């Protein structure tokens, strides 16, 4: 049977993915400084083996033959994912992949050097080359998939998402956020006038912060028999579902950044650990795209870990692991003022819940114009500044470092990725709204540090479904309705509007 051949292929590819993932995680955490060259050689060889097996010409024949076989529901869905992956893996000619890889590597190298200097003019030629290649890639993917060019790029990260739906959702959200931001800032100012922000009582030893993070991971459901926590320059969640490699970084002058980062990555890890093990060697068994993955991390970080209910449970743990003098005189309102502080800022990764989506929508709109040829790379600084001024009331016209040069995505050619971040926040709020109806005492359970029912709900609705459905269909099945910005808006009003 041809499906049996695809099933066998899935096992081989899973083994290679496993090796690559663990080697990559180890490189970022434990590899000796002198091991880089040989590690790169090993991973390059494995990646080449993976690509050769994943794009073998006979796979197309297996897929077509399997369509005529008597398959059960899961196998039929798996076949669709095998085909989608194969089309995406083979639609780019080898010579194009080589040109794109060389261009993006050079662009990223220049970006690392020139961003700190804010040298846009020297960076521009490399970015123009990347934009030209991404337009070419979008056309190739569009031809192979039948999608519009930008949709074809987005579909790599969130299968099923289309600008026809997202444009309207983002336009609605943008209008709300632009109006709501001044209100939230005014409410915050009044609150802080009555109860000013307090200073953290640093230093916080790293080992004690680590123990606090481990306690938070354990409480929220992380399975330490199938995962671990390490330190890296940039926090990430990697590895494989049976061996999740989570990382964080520490500062001794404050502990909240690391703790919130640990909780964010724990959300990613819980999703991976909750995927169906019987399908682990099929594309069907993988997480359903970046938007859904971000929804799981942001559910833990935003919906849970920045709430008063959570901190009623968490504050005693802070005292237990960091000491009673860690935050002397602090109560839950003081913690919430710190973790939910709102401000107009230039940097996306430092933004709060209200301003972050505006940073994303700005990039989403510029990306579409770049791919469509309505905007050239040389025009980005002015277009970026116009939107920053309109959306956030701040200008970046003379500051490319903290403007269009701040992200690695465009230098690396990752166009179509940005929408996933805000889609994830919106999905998280919508999941939270649906969950609250099914678990009316959800807050009381969090106050007791009991996340069993919360995790079981997400396991049933999201984790166990893996890639059975497109992102929009999965949202509808989990919450009873398509993606709806009203849930995210209501969440922001409750947290920041009073």
Listing DSSP states for 259-284 in one string gives HHHHHHHHHHHHHHHTS-GGGTTSGG
Task: Give me 367's structure tokens.
Answer: 């990306």
DSSP-H helix ranges across 34-162: 36-54, 58-66, 73-90, 94-114, 120-145, 149-154
pLDDT at position 33: 87
Per-residue pLDDT for the chain (498 aa), expressed as one digit of tens each?
A: 899 999 999 999 999 999 999 999 998 899 998 998 899 899 989 988 999 999 999 999 999 999 999 999 999 999 999 999 999 999 999 899 889 988 998 999 899 899 999 999 999 999 999 999 999 999 999 999 999 999 999 999 999 999 999 999 999 999 999 999 999 999 999 999 999 999 999 999 999 999 999 999 999 999 999 999 999 988 999 999 999 999 999 999 999 999 999 999 999 999 999 999 999 999 999 999 999 999 999 999 999 999 999 999 999 999 999 998 999 999 999 999 999 999 999 999 999 999 999 999 999 999 999 999 999 999 999 999 999 999 999 999 999 999 999 999 999 999 999 999 999 999 999 999 999 999 999 999 999 999 999 999 999 999 999 999 999 999 999 999 999 999 999 999 999 997
pLDDT at position 40: 86
pLDDT at position 257: 93
pLDDT at position 138: 98
Contacts of 121 (CB under 8 A, 6+ apart): none
Q: Give the separation between CA 428 and CA 293, rounded to whole angstroms.
A: 10
pLDDT at position 105: 87
Q: Which residue in 322, 253, 289, 343 sits closest to 483, CA to CA?
A: 289
Q: Which residue in 119, 120, 157 sits closest to 141, CA to CA?
A: 157
Q: Give the separation between CA 295 and CA 483, rounded to whole angstroms.
A: 12
pLDDT at position 122: 97
pLDDT at position 234: 83
Q: Is 284 helix (H, G, I), strand (E, B) or coil?
A: helix
Q: Is 338 among the residues known to form the active site?
A: no
Contacts of 303 (CB under 8 A, 6+ apart): 428, 429, 431, 432, 491
238, β-bridge pairs: 245
Q: Which residue in 314, 296, 317 sits closest to 305, CA to CA?
A: 314
Whether the Cβ atoms of residue 496 and residue 184 lie closer than 8 Å to each other:
yes
329: left (phi over 0), alpha (psi -120 to 50) or beta: left
pLDDT at position 4: 98
Of 81, 83, 137, 265, the catalytic one is 265
Q: For residue 119, with 0-12 CB atoms within 10 Å meaning exposed, 13-18 middle and 19 or more buried, which class applies? A: middle
Roughly how many angstroms between the first and final C-alpha of the chain, as a whole number? 62
Whether the Cβ atoms of residue 309 and residue 450 lie closer than 8 Å to each other:
no
Q: Give the separation between CA 274 and CA 464, rounded to whole angstroms.
A: 6
Please, what sign has the CA dihedral across residues 420, 421, 424, 425? negative
Whether the Cβ atoms of residue 130 and residue 430 lie closer than 8 Å to each other:
no
pLDDT at position 332: 96
């Amino acid at each position: 049977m041809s499906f049996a051949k695809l099933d066998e292929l899935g096992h081989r590819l899973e083994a290679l993915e496993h090796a690559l993932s663990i080697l990559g995680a180890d490189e970022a955490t434990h590899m000796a400084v002198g091991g880089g060259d040989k590690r790169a050689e090993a991973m390059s060889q494995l990646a080449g083996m993976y690509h050769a097996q994943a794009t073998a010409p006979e796979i197309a024949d297996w897929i077509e033959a399997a369509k005529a076989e008597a398959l059960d529901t899961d196998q039929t869905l798996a076949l669709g994912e095998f085909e989608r992956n194969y089309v995406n893996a083979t639609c780019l000619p080898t010579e194009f992949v080589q040109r794109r890889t060389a261009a993006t590597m050079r662009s990223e190298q220049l970006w690392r050097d020139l961003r700190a200097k804010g040298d846009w003019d020297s960076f521009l030629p490399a970015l123009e080359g990347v934009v030209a290649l991404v337009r070419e890639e979008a056309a190739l993917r569009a031809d192979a998939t039948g999608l519009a060019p930008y949709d074809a790029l987005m579909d790599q990260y969130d299968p099923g998402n289309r600008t026809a739906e997202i444009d309207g959702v983002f336009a609605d959200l943008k209008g709300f956020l632009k109006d709501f931001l001044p209100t939230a800032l005014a409410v915050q100012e009044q609150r802080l006038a009555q109860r000013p922000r307090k200073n953290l009582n640093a230093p916080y030893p790293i080992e004690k912060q680590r123990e606090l993070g481990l306690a938070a991971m354990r409480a929220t459901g992380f399975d330490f028999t199938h995962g671990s926590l390490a330190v890296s320059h940039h926090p990430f969640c990697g590895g494989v579902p049976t061996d999740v490699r989570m990382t964080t970084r520490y500062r001794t002058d404050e502990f909240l950044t690391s703790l919130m980062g640990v909780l964010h990555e724990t959300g990613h890890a819980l999703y991976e650990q909750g995927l169906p093990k019987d399908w682990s060697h099929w594309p069907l068994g993988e997480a359903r795209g970046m938007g859904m993955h971000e929804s799981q991390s942001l559910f833990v970080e935003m919906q849970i870990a920045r709430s008063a209910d959570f901190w009623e449970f968490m504050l005693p743990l802070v005292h237990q692991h960091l000491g009673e003098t860690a935050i002397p005189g602090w109560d839950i309102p003081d913690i919430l003022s710190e973790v939910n502080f709102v401000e107009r800022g230039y940097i996306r990764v430092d933004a709060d819940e209200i301003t972050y989506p505006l940073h994303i929508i700005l990039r989403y709109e510029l990306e579409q114009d770049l791919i469509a040829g309505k905007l050239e790379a040389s025009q980005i600084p002015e277009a970026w500044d116009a939107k920053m001024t309109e959306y956030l009331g701040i200008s970046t016209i003379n500051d490319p470092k903290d403007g269009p040069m701040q992200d690695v995505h465009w230098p690396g050619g990752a166009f179509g990725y940005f929408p996933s971040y805000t889609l994830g926040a919106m999905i998280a709020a919508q999941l939270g709204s649906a969950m609250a109806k099914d678990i009316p005492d959800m807050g009381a359970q969090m106050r007791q540090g009991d996340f069993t029912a919360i995790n079981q709900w997400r396991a049933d609705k999201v984790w166990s479904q893996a890639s059975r459905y497109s992102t929009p269909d999965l949202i509808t099945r989990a919450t009873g309705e398509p993606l709806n910005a009203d849930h995210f808006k209501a969440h922001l009003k409750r947290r920041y509007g009073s």
